[in-house]
Amino acid sequence: MKKVYLLFMMVSFTVALFAQSAHPTMTMQQAKNIKITEAYNPKVTPILKQTAALPTQGMRGLVTPANIIGTTYQEQQTNYNQRNKIAVFPDGTASVVWMTAPRNGNSLRGTGYNYFDGSQWVNASDDIQRIENVRTGWPCMASVGTNGEIVIAHNGDDALVINVRPQKGTGNWTQTTLAGPAVLDSNGANPSTALLWPDIATNGNTIHLVAVTESNDGYLYDGINRCLLYYRGTYDETNNTITWENPRKVFNATPEMYTYFGADCYTIAAKGNTVAILYMTKSQVARIWKSTDNGLNFNTITLFDSPWAHDYDLYSEYDPSIEVDTNTINFIPNEISTIAIGDDGKVHVAFDLYRCKWGGWTPSSQNPMDTVIGWTYWPNWNYQIVYWNEDMPVFVGRTALDVDTLAANGYTTFGLLDLDGDDTARYYDFDYYADNIRGSIVSYPQITVDGSNVYMVYCGMLEYPFLGTNNQSIPQLHGIFGVRSTDGGQSWNNGTSWLSFGKDIQYAENWGTDSVGLVIDYDAIFPAMSKKVVNGKLVIDWMTDYFGDIVGSGVFTNMTWVMARTIAADSIGVYNNVEEIRQGLWIDPMGIADNTLQGMKLYPNPATDNLSVAISSNEHASADLSIVNLMGQVVYSENVALNEGNNLLNVSVSNLTPGVYMINIRTNKGTSTQKLIVK
């Protein structure tokens, strides 16, 4: 079983980043000062069980310019859910939007846009201007009509700002606004028509829109603060106009159901005549509102009935002096989720989990989320992403989302990846939530369904040693990963792609053995994915920069790149497969090397004094043999000569401290790694 560990930095170190050339390193003594502590380990079978490890080589960032489609100083792209931000068209072209802003340019914030013409992105990343002529935020987009596109953002004041044009990729935008129903403050004054945090999906000329009403306290629409509304619009291609119907409350909500709706805690999808809206938070009932007649009528599916949405007697049911254990509520949904619709009209969902922890008791307050159950992020528990579709039962009961229960009932969950293949996942303790990263250690899922194929991309913390460093004392970087199911979501056994890092984006170089090199990746977060597969391809984008935190919406000091790639859908899980990392096959920057080494076997293993290494080579070659401990330190190395065919090497391990090691043999054309146990 994969183990999950937490790295606490006992010493702080700072390494300046010089564009793309600085090398974050640690001295041997610093490495020895890192304390490894075992963390909570849910009994979930890891996706990959390969136990080889990356040799001790540093990685230097190399961002491929073709992947950069824009820049922004607004790194925080969402509060929680990722919106629909990519439109794809039948001819293989695509459009992408994001929040853009210049340095220290809050007032100039708006929608950045780029267009893929089938072979390249047409706008230079440094020439992109916002679409709107007013300040906006939280844009979403979709195709509309025969060949048009629509972008909707909020102005944060009194309305949504809508831009539409009949020909994607070219022509002038027509800008209009959509004001919500007027709501009054608690004194019955100061009317507001604000609509906030929109998301859209389309079906031909029909536009499906969700947004919430005024967010300030006291502004109630039918007794609900930030009431979630659904609008249906009809697009007139001839006049390039939209006619909006009157809004409807999602779920036909009442104050008894929801006193408020969370910002960005909802998302929408449409395919054919099926429309589905998902709303999910950690403290409210998680529901799906689904229509099969293009938004005319809706039915409600209760996905998870959160215990905190009811008036449970916390005094009698819980002892606040006892920390939550596996016999009580273990996991609840986070606010971050995604929804997609299959060709058969069935809904597919993925969402984050939080694990509950007692937060202490404050007699003066009886708010269970603040005083009894603390949901603040704790990275020493291995959170998961949960996948669900309509062929599966809903989640019933307080322990329904416990990861052991999920696994026992056939649900697939996705946790922190064991990137270096030593069967142990390591990561730093880090105040994740405080830096505007609202997700768990694996988070921000996006799903696309095409026939029997279900594709998912998500963001995950990078484990040691793929951590990088920056001007913070505790770095914590993230990567974008992709998985694929070929049987409608029943199983996910086709591997995992590291989409934000790999042979064609970054390359390796040897730093020597006098220091322990930490692998540097750019921080990659907030993935988005097209909701359709067109010509066998998917469009994926994400945000990336040097820093492991997220700069909030009011601070515009660090530049962030908008990265995108068009990728063959069926290569998800194969392209840049993490198993290749474990085999050291990304060393050749031109592609995977021809691995001439085969079948390494160690015996005895465990070993005490002498170790025999049997390995086959396809050629006569000089090779480097090294033994590395779990801290990434080289504890033994020698150069060996390999003959074509079978080879038997003898290595003395009598001077090694008992423990787990990785032994690696590398030639110019290949590498092979195995786990070694010394007793």
What is the Cβ-side half-sphere exposure of residue 254, based on CA atoms within 13 angstroms? 1
Amino acid 31 reads A
**Residue 580: per-residue pLDDT:** 67
Residues of the chain with pLDDT under 50: 1-3, 5-64, 311-327, 358-380, 431-434, 469-474, 506-520, 587-594
pLDDT of residue 427: 63
Burial string for 102-115 (b: 16+ CB within 10 Å, else e) reads beebeeebbbbbbb
Q: Residue 424's pLDDT is what? A: 66
* 196: Cα separation from own chain's centroid: 24
Q: How far apart are CA 551 and CA 559, in angstroms?
A: 10
pLDDT of residue 68: 86
In the chain, count H helices and then E strands: 4, 46
Q: What is the CATH number of domain 595-679?
A: 2.60.40.2550
User: Residues near 179 by Cβ (< 8 Å), separated by ≥ 6?
Assistant: 158, 159, 160, 193, 195
Give the H or E element holding residue 624: strand 621-629
Are the C-beta atoms of residues 630 and 667 closer than 8 Å to each other?
A: no
Tokens of 194: 């604000």
Residue spans of the domains in the chain: they are: 84-263, 595-679
Query: How far is it, in rounded angstroms, from Cα 180 to Cα 220?
Result: 13
Q: What is the pLDDT of residue 519?
A: 38
H or E segment at 666? strand 659-666
Q: What is the pLDDT of residue 381?
A: 52
- Tokens at 8, concatenated: 């606490």
Whole-angstrom CA distances from 587 to 288, 503, 510, 618 are: 46, 8, 9, 19
Contacts of 661 (CB under 8 A, 6+ apart): 627, 628, 629, 630, 635, 675, 676, 677, 678
What would the 3-class secondary structure string for 158-178 be?
CCEEEEEECCCCCCCCEEEEE
Q: Give the start-end residues of each E strand in 251-384.
A: 266-271, 274-279, 286-291, 299-304, 331-341, 347-355, 357-358, 373-374
CB 165 within 8 A of CB 146: no
Which fold does the domain 84-263 belong to in CATH? Neuraminidase (2.120.10)
**Residues 498-510: tens digit of each pLDDT:** 898 765 554 333 3
The per-residue pLDDT for 389 is 97
- Per DSSP, the residues of 571-609 read GTTTTTBHHHHHTTTT-STTS-----EEEEEEESSSBSS
Q: Is 653 helix (H, G, I), strand (E, B) or coil?
A: coil
pTM (predicted TM-score):
0.77
